[in-house]
A and B are shown apart, each in its own frame.
Chain A
Amino acid sequence: EDQVTQSPEALRLQEGESSSLNCSYTVSGLRGLFWYRQDPGKGPEFLFTLYSAGEEKEKERLKATLTKKESFLHITAPKPEDSATYLCAVQEGETSGSRLTFGEGTQLTVNP
Chain B
Amino acid sequence: EPEVTQTPSHQVTQMGQEVILRCVPISNHLYFYWYRQILGQKVEFLVSFYNNEISEKSEIFDDQFSVERPDGSNFTLKIRSTKLEDSAMYFCASRGDSSNQPQHFGDGTRLSIL
Contacts and interface: CB of A to CB of B under 8 A. Distances in A.
B75 interface: no
Contacts of A42: 107-108
Given A41-B107, A43-B107, A97 B42 contact: no
B91 A100 contact: no
Nearest to A32: B100
Given A31-B99, A51-B100, A99 B107 contact: no
Nearest to B40: A104
A44 B43 contact: yes
B25 to A, nearest CB: 13
Nearest to B31: A98
A46 B42 contact: no
B107 A101 contact: no
A49 B108 contact: no
Contacts of A31: 99
Given A97-B47, A98-B31, 15 more contacts: A32-B99, A34-B102, A43-B6, A43-B108, A44-B91, A46-B104, A89-B43, A95-B56, A96-B55, A97-B33, A98-B95, A98-B103, A100-B35, A104-B41, A104-B42
10 cross-chain pairs, A with B, having the tightest CB-CB distances, nearest first: A97-B56, A97-B48, A43-B105, A97-B55, A102-B43, A99-B45, A46-B102, A43-B107, A44-B105, A96-B55
